[in-house]
Amino acid sequence: MKTVEEIKAAIETAVPGAQVEIVRNPGPSAQHSLRIGHEFAVQVATFLQDDPELALDFLSNVTGVDWPDKEIAEKVKVTRQVTKTIDGVEQAVEETVEETRKRLEPGCLEVVYHLYSMAKKHGPVVLRMRTANRSDKVNLPSLTRVWRAAEFQEREIFDLYGIVFEGHPDLRRILMWDGFKDHPMRRDYVDPDDYEYEPTAHDEVLAKAHAHQTAAGAVAVPEGGKP
């Protein structure tokens, strides 16, 4: 099978204008991936499926990944013009100070596709696509038209991560119930604490549940039930 660089070159030749970049995998498994842009994703996917050498006809796995916003603190050297009094005279002097600047690197949601070939019996070729941010621009093109295997898995990613796949024939929640709000697999998901009252060995869970129970006017704590 071709290496990642060769596949990248082949994609760029076949689908001009497609943005493809190689994402190196630092671990020992050496499964490097290709990050593709949204615009020509479906054409790239069709090319990968139709190319006689690659023949990636089998989409094995579609995964969603959440990369939350990161706050990065970095030291920056800043040169500023300061007015200082030297020998009684006010002068404009240049001063270089080291400051710690905090910037927010915006996070994104990512979809990873693992492709294999049943015809040539090779693989995997890993494709990645990133959304622009985690809040409003969460649309990605759906590859269900190319590989039917993506249908349920993209629905699951929509359900658990909130990525909206454009072009998906039936995009609705699959594992959670239809009226559910929020997306459980995101890193900033806060799970509800109105658990059913069960004494466990860990008191903080119990305390949270108890707060909801007494608020709703439910059963009191039986004596001897607490550890």
Partner 1 sequence: MTSSATDFALSAARQEGWNRPPVIEPDGEGELLELAMGPHHPSTHGVFRMDVALDGERVVRLKPVFGYLHRNHEKIAENTSYLASMPYTDRLDYFCSLTNNWAYALAVEKLVGQAVPERAEYLRVILAELTRIQNHASSIGFLLQEMGASGTPLMYAFREREKILDLFETLTGSRMMCNYMRFGGCRVDASPAWLDATRKVVAGIPEFVDEFERFLRTNEILMARTQGMGILRPELAVNAGVTGPMLRASGVNYDIRKVDHYGIYDRFKFRVPLGDHWDIYDRYMVRMLEMRESIGILEQALKEIPGGPVMDPKAKIRGFRPKPGEAYGRIEAPKGELGFYLISDGSPNPYRYRVRPPSLINLTILEDMCLGHNVADVVLIFGSVDIVLGEVDR
Partner 2 sequence: MLGEGILKGLAETAKNFAGSFVSAERLTTVEYPEQRIPTAENARVFPFLIYDGTDWEAGMRCVACQICEKECPPKCIYIEKSKDKKPDFVGKMQIYPAKFDIDVSVCMSCQICVEVCPFEAIKMDTEFELSTTDRFGGLLFDRKHLAKSNEYYHEIHPTEATEVDARLAEEKAKAEAKAKAATQAAAAKAGAPASGPAPGAAAPTAKAAEALPASKPAGGGE
Per partner kind, with CB cut-offs from 5 to 8 A, the member of partner 1, partner 2, none near residue 131 is none
Listed residue (58, 24, 51) closest to 143, CA to CA = 58
Per partner kind, with CB cut-offs from 5 to 8 A, the member of partner 2, partner 1, none near residue 145 is partner 1
Interaction between residue 60 and partner 1 (CB under 8 A):
yes
Question: What interhelical angle do 4-14 and 41-50 show, nearest 10?
Answer: 110
> Distance of CA 160 to CAs 38, 94, 107, 127, Å?
21, 53, 17, 20
In angstroms, give the least distance from the CB of 218 to partner 1.
25
Per partner kind, with CB cut-offs from 5 to 8 A, the member of partner 1, partner 2, none near residue 129 is none
| C-alpha angle 154-156-160 in degrees, rounded to nearest 5 | 120
Residues 148-187 contacting partner 1, CB under 8 A? 148-153, 156, 169, 173-177, 184-185
Round to whole Å and give the CA distance between 149 and 139.
Answer: 19
Interaction between residue 214 and partner 2 (CB under 8 A):
no
Listed ranges 51-59, 70-78, 86-94, 217-225: which one lies at the site for partner 1 (CB under 8 A): 51-59
Residues 120-159 contacting partner 2, CB under 8 A? none
Out of 24, 198, 204, 220, name the contact with partner 2 by CB under 8 A.
198
Backbone angles phi, psi at 74, to 5 degrees: -135, 150
Interaction between residue 220 and partner 2 (CB under 8 A):
no
SS3 string of 6-38? HHHHHHHHHCCCCCEEEECCCCCCCCCEEEECC
Interaction between residue 200 and partner 2 (CB under 8 A):
yes
Of the two residues 74 and 191, which places its CB atom closer to partner 2 in the complex? Answer: 191
> Distance of CA 215 to CAs 137, 196, 204, Å?
39, 13, 17
Please, are residues 148 and 122 in contact by the beta-carbon 8 Å criterion?
A: no
> In the block, which residue shows the tokens 């693989």?
123
Out of 14, 55, 132, 205, name the contact with partner 1 by CB under 8 A.
55
By CB under 8 A, name the binding residues for partner 1: 25-29, 31, 49-50, 52, 55, 57-61, 63, 65, 112, 114, 118-119, 121, 124, 126, 145, 147-153, 156, 169, 173-177, 184-185
* Binding residues vs partner 2 (CB under 8 A): 198-202, 222, 224-227
